[in-house]
């Protein structure tokens, strides 16, 4: 068998319209993971990914969280790249000086803090099945500074005009150090610019020590932050709802994420095992 490992994005790729893994797709994954490791790769925190590992009866499997900023081999962290405290502080200060501050979610490992359970926090809670801790951003940052740690990810959510201001400020002041990913007009995901899903994959393959190379990997995705990953692996698979830029670098295109695109591809793929 040419391929020895499978990586997949979660949101917009693996999940159906109910933001879960359908019974059909889960069955195809369970069938194939007895032959090949099936690794989740996401901008989500680990606690938001273990829910799906439980569904797949694969709890404890390696994962790549925060778009590569945190890599777990089994249940052990093997890599962590964080946003420096000064950049987080600047964002908090700039945001609080606005007439209409946006929502900031701060993430480190399995810690997720918000200043209030507002519309945006409740929306994320509903989407991810994880409840954040309510604490001021300044308190969170002070606590992390005392521990010598920083944010793996910051999520900014709010009205488009306010998100525009945040994006412009952070890009102008910290664009060389931070990756600003605008998954929606109302969202900005911020991470250290040194990491990506592909850097996470490379670190995990090295840690596995089995000599698996990128050309022996399969990867599924749908969005801009999946382009580098799909372009690098041996078999890059875009779902039908993927960005056109991703489809352009993919080796093949499967069905829509709401129509079990990943599961249907795996059903055909498993016949070669």
Determine the average pLDDT of the residues in 66-75: 95
Structural domain spans, the chain? 5-80+195-272, 85-192
Tell me the DSSP string of 113-135.
EESS--HHHHHHHHHHS-PPEE-
> Residue 1 above 80 pLDDT?
no
Q: What is the pLDDT of residues 15-40, one digit of tens each?
A: 999 999 999 999 999 999 989 999 99
Q: What is the pLDDT of residues 207-221, one digit of tens each?
A: 999 999 999 999 999
- The pLDDT, as a whole number, for residue 183 is 81
Q: Taking the model in full, what pTM does it have?
A: 0.94
Burial class (CB in 10 A: 0-12, 13-18, 19+), 55: middle
CATH architecture of the domain with range 85-192? 2-Layer Sandwich (3.30)
Q: What is the pLDDT of residues 180-229, one digit of tens each?
A: 998 889 999 999 999 999 999 999 999 999 999 999 999 999 999 999 99
CATH architecture of the domain with range 5-80+195-272? 3-Layer(aba) Sandwich (3.40)
- The pLDDT, as a whole number, for residue 273 is 75
């Amino acid at each position: 068998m040419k391929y020895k490992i499978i990586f997949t994005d979660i949101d917009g790729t693996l999940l159906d319209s109910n933001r879960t893994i359908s019974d059909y797709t889960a069955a195809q994954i369970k069938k194939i993971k007895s032959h090949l490791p099936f690794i989740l790769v996401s901008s989500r925190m680990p606690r938001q990914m273990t829910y799906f590992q439980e569904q797949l009866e694969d709890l404890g499997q390696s994962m790549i969280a925060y778009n590569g900023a945190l890599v777990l081999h089994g249940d052990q962290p093997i890599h962590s790249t964080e946003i420096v405290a000064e950049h987080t502080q600047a964002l908090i200060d700039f945001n609080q000086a606005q007439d209409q501050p946006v929502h900031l979610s701060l993430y480190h490992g399995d810690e997720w803090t918000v200043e209030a359970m507002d519309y945006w926090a409740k929306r994320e809670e509903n989407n991810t099945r994880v409840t954040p801790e309510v604490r001021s951003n300044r308190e969170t940052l002070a606590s992390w500074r005392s521990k010598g740690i920083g944010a793996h990810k910051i999520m900014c959510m709010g009205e488009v005009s306010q998100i525009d201001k945040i994006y412009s400020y952070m890009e102008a002041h910290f664009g060389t150090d931070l990756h600003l990913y605008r998954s929606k007009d109302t969202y900005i995901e911020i991470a250290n610019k040194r990491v990506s899903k592909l850097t996470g994959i490379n670190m995990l393959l090295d840690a596995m020590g089995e000599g698996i190379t990128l050309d022996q990997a399969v990867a599924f995705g749908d969005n801009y932050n999946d382009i580098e990953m799909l372009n690098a692996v041996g078999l890059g698979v875009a779902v039908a709802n993927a960005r056109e830029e991703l489809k352009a670098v993919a080796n093949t295109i499967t069905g829509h994420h709401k129509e079990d695109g990943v599961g249907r591809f795996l059903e055909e793929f498993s016949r070669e095992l």
